[in-house]
Amino acid sequence: MKSEHYDLIAIGAGSAARDGANKAAKDYGAKVALIEAEHWGGSCPNVACVPTKAYLVAAGLAHSINTLANERGIEVGPATTNLAKVKAWKDSLKKPQQKWVESLHAAGFDTYEGTASFVDPHTVRVGDAELNADKILIATGSRTAVPPIEGIEEIDWVDHVSALEIEELPERLLVCGAGPVGLEFGQAFSRFGSNVTIVDAVDEIAPHTDHHAAMELREALTDEGIPIILGSFVTKLAAREGGNVATITPREGGMEQEVEFDCFLVASGLLKFLESSGLLRLLSRSGSDSARAMLGLCKDRNRFASPSATRKSGFWSCWRKLASWSNVRSVSSFTIASHVSVCRSACTLVSPTATSFASICGAE
Ligand SMILES: Cc1cc2nc3c(=O)[nH]c(=O)nc-3n(C[C@H](O)[C@H](O)[C@H](O)COP(=O)(O)OP(=O)(O)OC[C@H]3O[C@@H](n4cnc5c(N)ncnc54)[C@H](O)[C@@H]3O)c2cc1C
């Protein structure tokens, strides 16, 4: 078994890991290794920021043709979208995986491909290598939080990753979540030609952004023909012949309504992705206070991810609590490292729950 020692090991190779690695190497001359299980570069360039912006650019073109071209004397027919071709263009913009590895090597880092798992607080195993380090940066990103909706297991829902793989435009897209992810996909697919409805329990879209900007954006989206149902939960999903049906229930009670859909996009939040590295197992064996606190967080978050575990009535308060908690945590409380201070994700748009879990393990 190959064995190697580093000053810092980063688990994950997304924005947070690369920030941490760069800082450790530049400011402290640290010997650094990055371990990546799935895509070098992490989510942002592969399945998040970049591909969704590509969809918005393509959708913006279709929208301009459909709304402005005629008026400005450009004679074209209505724009229709070949989603398979848009997807192919979006895929062509991705930096190849080999190029990522080359640039990490050029920056002086060692790279290991595979899923890292903790052996002890200073050692991780990846493939046939056992690596140990003074500090280990857990920058394993996030995964979709599946909301507790009755019947969700009966339908083929998509999230921001699988939605980018769809090749046939859905006629009716129901988006659960009016944060940046739901709004981006909602607007792009609407401009591509789907009938989009967006539902969220909040009173205003994009609740973590400037209120006036959010209002402007909601009005613009409504003007474009996207119904936005706020203050309401999607409480039930049912597969029916000729189309699926969602039950929408007002948060404060009142008349329920039904919305038909062909495709259901879960854009209601992300959870920190901690299971993959075996961190939870490691923490549960540790007796320290901060390990116990961290384990409490992980368990809370994972409970929230379970569709049956959170009662509908408690859903909203649970969500708010976790969102604000996560914000605080990701900015300061977890910086228990001595030589890499704050390591934050590149997330500027997405709700706090989407920010990365970037912390140093084993600093006590
Ligand atoms: C649809 C969408 C659009 C977005 N648009 C924007 C935007 O326009 N601007 C912006 O600033 N932010 C945007 N974001 C947010 C941004 O993508 C994230 O904040 C950022 O990618 C988080 O980086 P990270 O390094 O924490 O995690 P990630 O980039 O997800 O990296 C984590 C990596 O860890 C790897 N990993 C996990 N477990 C292991 C393991 N055990 N061993 C080895 N590797 C492992 C994963 O494979 C993954 O590659 C968007 C997010 C979404 C979902």
| β-strand partners of 358 | 139
Query: Residue 296: what pLDDT?
Result: 53
Q: How far is the CA of 196 from the centre of ligand 1 (A)?
A: 26
Asked which of 239, 268, 297 is the last residue of a domain, the reply is 268
The pLDDT of residue 185 is above 60: yes
Q: Are residues 239 and 162 in the same domain?
A: yes
Q: Are residues 124 and 204 in the same domain?
A: no
Residue 180 lies in a domain: yes
Asked which of 225, 244, 268 is the last residue of a domain, the reply is 268
The pLDDT of residue 316 is above 70: no
Q: Are residues 30 and 102 in the same domain?
A: yes
DSSP assignment letter at 319 = H
Average pLDDT over residues 320-333: 30
Average pLDDT over residues 182-208: 96
What share of the chain in percent tops pLDDT 90? 69
Rounded distance between C-alpha atoms, residue 98 and residue 260, angstroms: 43
Rounded distance between C-alpha atoms, residue 16 and residue 323, angstroms: 19
Look at ligand 1, atom 26, and give the residue with the nearest C-alpha.
356
Residue 54 lies in a domain: no
Q: Are residues 158 and 12 in the same domain?
A: no
- Comparing 49-63, 79-93, 269-283, 316-330, the range with the smallest average pLDDT is 316-330
Q: Are residues 19 and 125 in the same domain?
A: yes
Asked which of 219, 253, 268 is the last residue of a domain, the reply is 268
Q: Tell me the CA end-to-end span of the chain in Å, nearest whole number.
A: 28
Residue 72 lies in a domain: no
Is the C-beta atom of 141 inside 6 A of ligand 1? yes
> Domain range spanning residue 23?
2-41+95-144+271-358
Query: Residue 25: what pLDDT?
Result: 95
SS3 151: coil
Mean of the per-residue pLDDT values of the chain? 81
For residues 318 and 67, the model is more confident at 67
Q: How far is the CA of 101 from the centre of ligand 1 (A)?
A: 17
Q: In what order do the strands lie in the sheet with 263-266?
A: 228-229, 195-199, 172-176, 263-266
**Residues in contact with 143: Cβ distance below 8 Å, sequence separation at least 6, in sequence order:** 270, 271, 273
Position 285 confidence tier, pLDDT thresholds 50, 70, 90: low
Residue 75 lies in a domain: no
Q: How far is the CA of 16 from the centre of ligand 1 (A)?
A: 8
Q: Are residues 138 and 15 in the same domain?
A: yes
DSSP assignment letter at 349 = S
Residue 78 lies in a domain: no
The pLDDT of residue 315 is above 50: no
Task: Report pLDDT digits (tens) over 201-243.
Answer: 999 999 988 999 999 999 999 999 999 999 999 999 999 888 8
Query: Residue 346: what pLDDT?
Result: 21
Task: Report pLDDT digits (tens) over 70-95.
Answer: 999 999 999 999 999 999 999 999 99
Which of 19, 49, 97, when mutated, tests ligand 1's pocket best, judged by the most ligand atoms within 8 Å of its CB?
49
How distant, in Å, are the alpha carbons of 101, 193, 360 from that of 83?
30, 10, 42
Q: At what angle do helices 49-64 and 83-92 cross, to 10 degrees?
A: 130
Query: Residue 331: what pLDDT?
Result: 24
Structure tokens at 212: 């006036």
When computed from its CA atoms, the radius of gyration of the chain, rounded to whole angstroms, is 22
Whether 193 and 163 have beta carbons less than 8 Å apart is answered as no
- Comparing 53-67, 131-145, 166-180, the range with the smallest average pLDDT is 131-145
DSSP assignment letter at 69 = I
Residue 363 lies in a domain: no
Q: Are residues 331 and 351 in the same domain?
A: yes
Query: Residue 283: what pLDDT?
Result: 63
**Residues in contact with 71: Cβ distance below 8 Å, sequence separation at least 6, in sequence order:** none
Report the number of distinct structural domains present in the chain: 2
Query: Residue 286: what pLDDT?
Result: 60
Q: CATH number, domain at 241?
A: 3.50.50.60
Atom of ligand 1 nearest to the CA of 117: 41
Q: Are residues 328 and 342 in the same domain?
A: yes
Q: Are residues 201 and 342 in the same domain?
A: no
- CB-based burial, 204-215: b 16+ in 10 Å, e otherwise: bbbbbbeeeebe
How distant, in Å, are the alpha carbons of 54, 212, 296, 299, 330 from that of 336?
37, 37, 17, 20, 12
Q: Are residues 233 and 284 in the same domain?
A: no
The pLDDT of residue 279 is above 90: no
**Other CB atoms within 10 Å distance of the CB of residue 247:** 18
Query: Residue 219: what pLDDT?
Result: 95
Q: Where are the beta strands (DSSP E) in the chain?
A: 2-11, 32-36, 110-113, 117-120, 123-126, 129-139, 142-144, 172-176, 195-199, 228-229, 232-238, 244-250, 257-261, 263-266, 270-272, 358-361
Residue 285 lies in a domain: yes
Average pLDDT over residues 179-184: 95
Atom of ligand 1 nearest to the CA of 356: 26
Q: CATH number, domain at 24?
A: 3.40.50.720
**Residue 362: HSE in the Cβ half-sphere, 13 Å Cα cutoff:** 19
Rounded distance between C-alpha atoms, residue 302 and residue 176, angstroms: 19
Q: What is the pTM of this model?
A: 0.83
Q: Are residues 232 and 258 in the same domain?
A: yes
The pLDDT of residue 130 is above 50: yes
Amino acid sitting at position 247: T
Which of 19, 36, 43, 276, when mutated, tests ligand 1's pocket best, judged by the most ligand atoms within 8 Å of its CB?
43
Is the C-beta atom of 139 inside 6 A of ligand 1? yes
Q: Are residues 200 and 290 in the same domain?
A: no
Residue 162 lies in a domain: yes
Atom of ligand 1 nearest to the CA of 38: 47
